[in-house]
Structure 1
Amino acid sequence: MRKLVLVFLALVLVSQGGTLIEPIFLFLEKDGSRGKVNPLSREDLRLHPAESFWYTESYFFIAYLDSGEIAYLNLIVSNMGLKKNQPALTLTIITPTRERLTTEKDFKPEDLKLSENPFSIRIGENVLSGDDRRQKLSVKQEQLGLELEFSSPVQGFKLGDGCAYFGAKKDIYFCINYPAPRARVSGYITYNDKKVNAKGWGYLDHSWYNADTAMFEKIWHNLKFFSPEQNLLITSFITTENYGGKNVAVVSLVNDQKVVFATTDLIVTESSIEFDPAGQKSYPKKILFEFKHSDYSGRIHFDSSKIVEKMDVLEKLNKSATNRALKWAIQTFKQKPFYYRSFGPAELELNPKGASSIKISGQASCEVIFVK
């Protein structure tokens, strides 16, 4: 009886306005201890299929080229189509004049070919291959193409076991790891009947989840900062109210020798908020990212007003099998997702423990994604 009373009291204490606040477990080690920076294994690179209808796995690549283009690829495998484990590719190139060129294509599950040693994923004639330091893309869709290598002097990593778990039973998860975390980009891209040599910096991640994202995500704030000295990578989203409206984040600092640190301690503060009629959202034109680690603290105050891309997700979904299922899910659960990407100069302020503050100038890209 005493145990039942204590459990009841605990439920009351963690509730807010009559709504039970479910626990979150952020990127811990298998034994439940605080997560450390861990190298990636072959298992981390491969696919992690699940039975859930909502299962979705993504390999995301984005390249910021010295010639002014931004090119990105989302390679997706999902159960939200007519068949399980249905692959799809979305390829987008934003030109120096900010023209947005994009293709989306679903494939049959039998078009998906996997290899673990060496690692590769083939979808039709499109290939992703490599390891945790170097990954290559060979992708051609309609008039757009990528022949790119993302190469990093530092090996890929995950924080803890690489996953955040939601709820006392930990039956909902979002997992992410970071191959080639200090990526330089080389190769070429093709668009508008021309071939452009590619040189610049890039970012890639590998993520998967098993539930409707509207159940645990509300708004994303992602920031990728690059300079000759350091990369700062921020993945973050605010949870829904049933998880306390908390920030789920991985913040990592990487130089040419190592991952200096990774932490989940992040505060995101929006300011200069203006209503955007196109997205019907209140968009922040300035965003302050403040992070803490046992050996460092720091901040970036980013000007997110320089938008290079914004997208109504419902409007852009095409009539393919996977997107029909996704569109049904979004409409059924009354979601109105909208996506913004900004890009421009940024200054990273680092405060090493027991040492003077350091300011580093570079470039940054920020994503603000409204899930609802």
Structure 2
Amino acid sequence: MQRPASTYTDRDDGLHPLSNSDYSEWWYLDGRFDNGYSCVLTWHWLNQFIKPHIPTIQIFIYTPEGKRYVGMEAIDPKNCHASETICDVKMGSSYLKQEGTIYKMAMHSKGIGCELTFEGTVPGWKHGDGLMVPAGTNNTIAGWIIACPRAKVSGKLFIKDKVIEVQGNGYHDHNWGNTDLYDLFKGWYWGRLNDPKYTIIYSNTQLLDESWLPSLYIADDKSTLLATYQYSFTVEKEDTEPQTGDTYPKIISLKYDGNDLQLNCRLETKSIAEHNPLPKLNEFKMFNWRFLANYEGDITIDGKREFIKGETISERFIFR
């Protein structure tokens, strides 16, 4: 099959400074490790979910037993530095730095930390010009690029006095914009599947007019196989969180039927890692859900069918 060409460059993962008060930007990384640990890390150059937007770092570590450790703190803007030509971010003592296909990072906060190396195994990707909303729409900028769709990850996690050696797989993307998310979107679904051979990244974003922006990316161990806005995303079953009564996606299906590639995949939530109300910025009830999920399905390329199965991280944001 013919593979799509990427227009992504290292510049896309650099800082995108904007001058208005609603400007925000963040670098996101996550890792799932062979010993059952996982982590999520965010460098918020200006935090979208705090008014006024200020620099913060956030770190989440999840243990195999289901325990959750969180570190968050604000960083003095005087101690924040970032390149506009490549991913090279330093916020206080925490940093994220690209060196070729390798990303080196360290983040510590509130007695926990990560010191990891992400070695990219699939080239970076952006859809079109990297903007989620078409350029020129009410002067809105909402950028999203996938700098590292898949990576081999190794290093150390720190939980109080405990040091845990880890290795596994990871992911890194980058968002920026000049508009608060609740003024653009009602919410979104997102997840990434790092199967032993295939990488699948999906999203489905709801606009204020109730329409949806679906996005699906598939790569193998060589390069991108598919990047499309045309696929089927379905919440097959919802469940209720018993303490709050809020509903969340229990089973999601992803389907794509092209000439050279077909995908059928189901994700089933096995545990809720995060269910947090976002800071009260407006009259809307805003929530961040993060899930650990099992996935299972099949992918067919040029008539050859292969089965996929594993565990993954997924999320659901609700802005309105």
CA distance in 2, matches of 1:58, 1:67: 28
Determine the structure 2 residue equivalent to 1:122. 90
Instruction: Give the structure 2 partner of residue 362 of structure 1.
Output: 310
For residues 1-372 of structure 1, the aligned pairs below 5 Å read: 37-78=5-46, 86-115=54-83, 119-131=87-99, 133-165=101-133, 169-241=137-209, 245-293=210-258, 295-304=260-269, 306-314=270-278, 317=279, 327=280, 329=281, 332=282, 334-352=283-301, 355-372=303-320
How far, CA to CA, are the matches of 1:213 and 1:294 in structure 2?
A: 36
CA distance in 2, matches of 1:124, 1:233: 31
Which 5+ residue runs of structure 1 have no aligned equivalent? 1-35, 318-326
* TM-score, normalised relative to structure 1: 0.78
Residues matched between the structures, number: 316
Query: Secondary structure, in 3 states, of the residue corresponding to 2:42?
Result: strand
* 1:352 CA drift (Å): 3.0
1:320 matched residue in structure 2: none
CA distance in structure 1 between the aligned counterparts of 2:293 and 2:137, rounded to whole angstroms: 42
AA at the equivalent of 1:247: W
Larger helix percent: 1
Residue identity opposite 1:134 in structure 2: I
Q: Is the 8 A contact 1:261 1:293 kept in 2?
A: no
Secondary structure at 1:158 match in 2:
coil
Structure 2 letter corresponding to 1:267:
S
- Evaluate the alpha carbon distance shift between residue 167 and residue 109 of structure 1 in structure 2; reply closer, same or farther with a 3 A threshold: same
- Unaligned stretches of 5+ residues in structure 2: none
Instruction: Say which SS state the counterpart of residue 179 (structure 1) adopts.
Output: strand
Which deviates more, 254-263 or 362-371?
362-371
- Cα deviation for residue 96 of structure 1 reads 1.6
RMSD, aligned α-carbons = 2.4
Larger Rg: 1
Aligned residue for 2:142, secondary structure, equals strand
Instruction: State the 1:123 CA deviation.
Output: 0.9
Query: In the TM superposition, what is the alpha-carbon distance from 1:74 to its structure 2 partner?
Result: 0.8
The percent of aligned pairs where both chains have the same amino acid is 22
What SS class does the counterpart of residue 44 from structure 1 fall into? helix
Q: Please say if residues 25 and 47 of structure 2, whose CA atoms lie closer than 8 Å, have aligned partners that are also in contact.
A: no
